[in-house]
Structure formats: C-alpha cells, structure tokens
Structure 1
C-alpha cells in the first residue's frame, strides 16, 4: 500500500465508518463525495478504503453483530506505541481495548476518554493514515463535543501531550501540539438535538465544494440534517445523519481551516 504523510503522535490521522451494511454505505458516500473504493485483505475483514483520485481518505468496516445499534464514524489519533497508549489512557481515567493488527497496515484499538467519548488509536504499519486532507471529499477537521471541557482537556494532555487554546470570545478550544492545531473541543451546549443526544463524542468533518449543495444532495440520498448549516470562522458547516444513522459534518473546503496533515 502506498504511504501517505507521517502523522505525529496525538494528531488525528484517520477516520472510519463502522456499519453493518458496507454496500449501502459505499453507495451513499460514493455518490455524495465521489469516492472510489478499494476492498482490503479478507484477513482484515474486507476493510474498505475510500479513495479520492487513488488516495485513501477514510475507511469502512463492518461492525460486530453484538456491536453498536447504529453506524458511527470514529476518529483515530496517531501513536508510536498502541500498547503504551492504552496504558496511558487507562491511567488517565479512560477505557481501552487490547491492540489489534489490521493486516500489516496498522495496529489499532478503540478507547473512550474520561468523559466517555469514543476514539481510536492508530499505530502505523505500512499505512500512516489519510493520504489526502483539506480537499473536497477528504477530512478537514476533527472535533470533540463534551459537557466538561476542562476534564477532557486534562485527559488529552495527560495521554497525548495536547495543549489547548480557548477563544477569548467563546468556549471553543483548540487542541494543539507545539502550538499547531490538531482538533477542536466544543461544549455540548453549542450543538442542537439530535447531536447532543449522542453525548460526548468525536465529530468528523469532510470538505465539500458547497455546504448548501451537499446538504441538498445528501437529503436526496436519504440523509437528514442534524445541525446547521451555520457560519463559523472556519467556513459554513453542517452536521448530517446518513441513511444508516451515522453522524458526520461537512464544511466548505475553500474556507476550512487546514488540517494537521503529517509532521
């Protein structure tokens, strides 16, 4: 597998969709974002790589029969040592599964932080993570939605060394590594139902040419609008819910703040 940019520990490096109907998910997102798909090794459960111009931008995995009742997008943070990260997560009050190897591409695990927000840990093998970011159809931002921001900031500082910068005129915080933005922290009070009903969670945002046109297109494909559209300093954003129930965000890629790709 061709390599993409290298991601420093603590940076969001990958996102994937956990679903029990990969074909339906591929049909929806392929039509909406223009994705092509490369199905991986059967040993990895036919993990599917979503691609733009031959570059992988996201994954689709089949959920276990006894897993979550609805589809969900997961944000993965890069680490040098998944087992070591699991130890730090538990010591900071979180929960972590045992590491699992994905057909030589990566060693990964699923975790939840001290507030209950689920995220993934990604130790690169031959695949460091997203090969394309900040373009239409690719990842542009990852955002933690929480009730207790201070608790969350303490957790991610202890586990990944994240610093934080809070806007002077709002409660929005930006997670940083060496003063470089790596993600956002949004108070739960700032989001609408049904997004708030998810509880603490990591939200994923994909770039689009036009937020309004994408909303209309997604609705024609069976999605619903969960929040927005809203104008922000980073562009016009909206949260959508796909036909299988997974929430995801879109933002006009022309106005989006750059993602921390590589480094």
Structure 2
C-alpha cells in the first residue's frame, strides 16, 4: 500500500472523502477551478472521474453522472467502514436505503445510501488517504448534516458507523443543547443540526449533508461563482466583511465557502 494510504478498518467511522457527480464534467471542473482554485488529476477510475487538488494536495472527487440516473446533483461525504456489507446491512435494518452498491473499485468497495430522512452519504471499505482529514490541510473545513431531528440522526449514524460517546473512542459524538458534534481524536469534523423539512421544495431546507470549503477570500469566490453560472444562496447579498457564503453551482449542488 502507498505510504499516504491506510486501511479503512483502522479509521472506521471517520469521514474519508467527499465527491460530486456532475452532469457536465468539464464545465464543472472549470467552475470549481474558478471558484475554489482547484486543479485536477486523473483518479484511476477512467476518464469520467477526477481528483481535485489544492496546492497539489487532494481535496475531493468529481465524476460524471450517468445520463440514465435521474438524481439530484449533491456533494456527498463518504465514511470509512471496516466491512461495507455489514454497514450496508445496518443501514437497511434501520429503515434507510442503500441506493447503489456495494460496488468494487480498484482500491476498495463502496455503497451510496440515504439516511431515514433522505440525506445522501457513502460508505467505503478499502484504502483511504492518511493525509486527508476534515478540518486539516487540503480537506474540507468541516461537514454538517442538516436534518429533521438531530438526536434521531445522531443515533442512526452512531449505530451504522460506530461513533462512540465522548471519551470512549477515536470518533466520538457529543450531544449539545440543539445539535451534536463529531470529533476525531478531539478535533471537530462534523456537526448534526435539526430543523430541516423533508417535503419542502427548497433544497436549502431539505435534509442533506453540507460541505464547507476554505477559500482565501470569500467575496472573490462568490463573484467567480456568479460569473460562472452559479448563485449566492446565503446570505442573499455579498458584503465587504463576508466570512462565509453558501453557493449553488450550475448543476444545483450546494456548498459553502468559508474564510481560511
């Protein structure tokens, strides 16, 4: 195994990657290059997949969405598991859906799922990057699940991914007054918040995982997104002191940029 890789069973429960499946791969690459400064390299999965890079270090994966799949374009986090079949079974047992897989790839096996409230996430068994940790280096700043009931969602993910109470493991979930916080060896990597509404037509309010990317200057990223056919979703208007902004790419995928 490469020196910058480890096995998923050693980091089971950790966010290990984020991906986006786009309707037009080359256009999507150009958009995120302008907005986030990314460059790209081949992903080893054929011409329809690319690894996005910041200063030469991996950030995320972008692939082409098969035209036969009529699904929403969303940023999706993947979590490391020791056994993808067992994790998929736990997902189904708890009333959620395994939509795709498990499928075999050159370095492991993956499945794409939706939790009981409809938020998409992935599970991965196999080689994972040891130099990719949410909140550090080139990886996203953090992840956030916006869901209907944060306590129910926290229970589901803890049972599926093995998150433990504080002080009882490397990946611990701490319940606070109105949200839960996932820590990796004490470092915050994800939050779970309630209040989302499943039936709303507004994708900003529906249950979903949300990815935060660091940028040197938020207003510059907002301007680039608007020029590239995207949109500023929140706040509704840019301002000189803007430190965070939620954007929509031309395919409809939502993401947030935050000042690094």
What SS class does the counterpart of residue 225 from structure 1 fall into? strand
The structure-2 alpha-carbon separation of the partners of 1:242 and 1:195, relative to structure 1 and needing over 3 Å to count, comes to same
In structure 1, stretches of 5+ residues that fail to align are 254-263
Q: Does the CA contact (< 8 Å) of 2:16 and 2:132 recur in 1? A: no
Q: Does the CA contact (< 8 Å) of 1:237 and 1:249 recur in 2? A: yes
Q: Does 1:165 align with 2:174?
A: yes
Q: Counterparts in 2 of 1:1-263, with a 5 A limit?
A: 4=4, 6=6, 8-41=11-44, 44=46, 46-96=48-98, 97-102=100-105, 104-125=106-127, 127-128=128-129, 131=132, 134=135, 138-162=139-163, 163=165, 164-168=173-177, 171-176=178-183, 180-188=187-195, 194-197=202-205, 199-228=206-235, 236-253=243-260
What SS class does the counterpart of residue 188 from structure 1 fall into? coil
Give the distance between the partners of 2:78 and 2:195, measured in 1 at CA: 21
Q: Does the CA contact (< 8 Å) of 1:50 and 1:59 recur in 2? A: yes
Q: Does the CA contact (< 8 Å) of 1:56 and 1:131 recur in 2? A: yes
Measured after TM superposition, the shift of residue 133 of structure 1 is 5.3
What SS class does the counterpart of residue 87 from structure 2 fall into? helix
The structure-2 alpha-carbon separation of the partners of 1:108 and 1:193, relative to structure 1 and needing over 3 Å to count, comes to same
Measured after TM superposition, the shift of residue 5 of structure 1 is 6.0
Q: Does the CA contact (< 8 Å) of 1:145 and 1:201 recur in 2? A: yes
What SS class does the counterpart of residue 182 from structure 2 fall into? strand
What SS class does the counterpart of residue 116 from structure 2 fall into? coil
The structure-2 alpha-carbon separation of the partners of 1:176 and 1:91, relative to structure 1 and needing over 3 Å to count, comes to farther
Q: Does the CA contact (< 8 Å) of 1:229 and 1:237 recur in 2? A: no
Number of aligned residue pairs = 242
When the two chains are superposed, the root-mean-square deviation of aligned CA atoms in Å is 3.0
What SS class does the counterpart of residue 239 from structure 1 fall into? strand
CA deviations over 1:15-74 (Å, ceiling 9, x no partner): 1111121000000111222211112346x4632111123222111111122324442211
Q: Does the CA contact (< 8 Å) of 1:241 and 1:248 recur in 2? A: yes
Q: Does the CA contact (< 8 Å) of 2:196 and 2:207 recur in 1? A: no
TM-score with structure 2 setting the length: 0.81
Q: Does the CA contact (< 8 Å) of 2:96 and 2:113 recur in 1? A: yes
TM-score with structure 1 setting the length: 0.80
Aligned residue number for residue 169 of structure 2: none
